[in-house]
Amino acid sequence: MYGLTPEQEQIVNLARDYARGEILPGAAARDREHAYPADIIAALGDMGFMGILVPESWGGAGLDNVSYVMSLAEVAYADASVAVIMSVQNSLACHPILVHGTEAQKQRYLPDLAGGKKIGCYALTEPQCGSDAAALRTRAVKQPDGSWVLNGTKMWITNGPQAEVAVAYASTDPSQRHRTIQAFILERDWPGYRVGKVEEKLGICASGTSELVFEDLHVPAENMLGEENKGFHIAMATLDGGRIGIASQGLGIAMRALDVAVAYAKERTAFGKPIGAQQAIQWMIADMGTRIDAARLLILRAATLRDQGKKCGRECAMAKVFATETASFCADRALQIHGGYGYSKEYEAERLFRDARITTIYEGTSEIQRLVIARSLLE
């Protein structure tokens, strides 16, 4: 594969073989039944994919971002629901603890998260606070002993129903917006931590999404993540990694959409020949393939810059907006190529169309990505 070392190719091939052999066959049934893939997540943990960036000393695989994003694309090719669980675990749960956590926090949380023994989530979004993350209202009140009490509601939390560990954000003074936001590591079994409404979604139906409700939730002092009043910085830095994770999910969906479209174009006949012989169909397939290759290269660039420790906010945003819009484009064209059959749940194109749609919304909408890109170019 272009741009990968032999070691990286070996990891990606492992992900591809498992994804196509074990994840793909049951994807339609899980989607239909809204069945959380617990066994698959455990297996991915055993193989090192749930903590791929975490060093071996804390129970992870100790690999690089390029291996991560290309492996994630292979998982998304088989099932976007499994891919988003893996993405959140790596990018939004393990990563902020790895980068900003104390030694004690890393020892306590990373081995179970990296091994897939516990599921993590990222609790930032609130009912009135999506793209404007600084407007969160969840309140953190510091106690005389240094502990905290949290009150508030989070929503659209991927992995929320299953997560045993949450990286969550709250403010000591919401009127101060980003200046007083704190980051915390929370545990599900603490009194005052409650899973609220579980969402019924258009797509990625085998992954859980819910509210999290904090009611006088007592948080020990040692569970504040990072420095005081630096929570917003942690949240935004974390989202860079999340963006290339979702970009990779989009890439995988697009790759699968192309493959099912090509297969159908070869077997379906109209006017006495396979529809793939028609120029209209060929142009759709050409556009799909071109966009997929461009998305892959943007993702590889962003991941390589992260591995080099370089600033890459703009590159991550470019990868995210282009790859996820490519996913929607390719899923739409795959459904169109299938014609009326594409609208039937009997065919995979319908599920890919539904799964692709969310990728342009969560972990930073396409509109926010364009703002990030434009502001960087205008500086």
230-267, pLDDT tens digit by residue? 999 999 999 888 899 999 999 999 999 999 999 999 99
Helix axes 38-47, 80-87, angle to 10 degrees: 50
Q: Is the dihedral of CA 179, 159, 44, 253 positive or negative?
A: negative
96 in Cβ contact with 225 (< 8 Å): yes
Backbone torsions φ then ψ of 224, nearest 5 degrees:
-70, 135
What is the reported pTM?
0.97
Task: Give every CB contact of residue 157 below 8 A, 6+ residues apart in sequence.
Answer: 121, 122, 123, 125, 163, 166, 209, 210, 211, 212
**The pair of three-digit structure tokens given for residue 102, joined into one six-digit string:** 């104390």
Query: Where do runs of H (alpha helix) occur along the chain?
Result: 6-18, 27-33, 38-47, 65-78, 80-87, 95-100, 103-114, 231-267, 279-307, 313-338, 348-357, 366-378
> Residue 210, class by beta-carbon neighbours within 10 Å (0-12 exposed, 13-18 middle, 19+ buried)?
buried
Backbone torsions φ then ψ of 211, nearest 5 degrees:
-75, 155
The boundaries of every CATH 2.40.110.10 domain in the chain are 120-231
Cα separation of 99 and 142, whole Å? 24
Catalytic residue from among 164, 199, 363, 379: 363
Cα separation of 131 and 133, whole Å? 6
114-159, pLDDT tens digit by residue? 999 999 999 999 998 888 888 999 999 999 999 999 999 999 999 9
CATH number at 120-231: 2.40.110.10
The boundaries of every CATH 1.10.540.10 domain in the chain are 6-114
Q: Is 74 a catalytic residue?
A: no
Could you read off the pLDDT tens digit of each residue along the chain, which spans 379 residues? 568 999 999 999 999 999 999 999 999 999 999 999 999 999 999 999 999 999 999 999 999 999 999 999 999 999 999 999 999 999 999 999 999 999 999 999 999 999 999 999 999 999 988 888 889 999 999 999 999 999 999 999 999 999 999 999 999 999 999 999 999 999 999 999 999 999 999 999 999 999 999 999 999 999 999 999 999 999 999 988 889 999 999 999 999 999 999 999 999 999 999 999 999 999 999 999 999 999 999 999 999 999 999 999 999 999 999 999 999 999 999 999 999 999 999 999 999 999 999 999 999 999 999 999 999 999 8
Cα separation of 235 and 338, whole Å? 41
Fold topology of 233-378: Butyryl-CoA Dehydrogenase, subunit A; domain 3 (1.20.140)
How many CA atoms lie less than 13 Å away from 102 in the CB half-sphere?
A: 13
**The pair of three-digit structure tokens given for residue 51, joined into one six-digit string:** 């903590």
Architecture label for domain 6-114: Orthogonal Bundle (1.10)
330 in Cβ contact with 258 (< 8 Å): yes
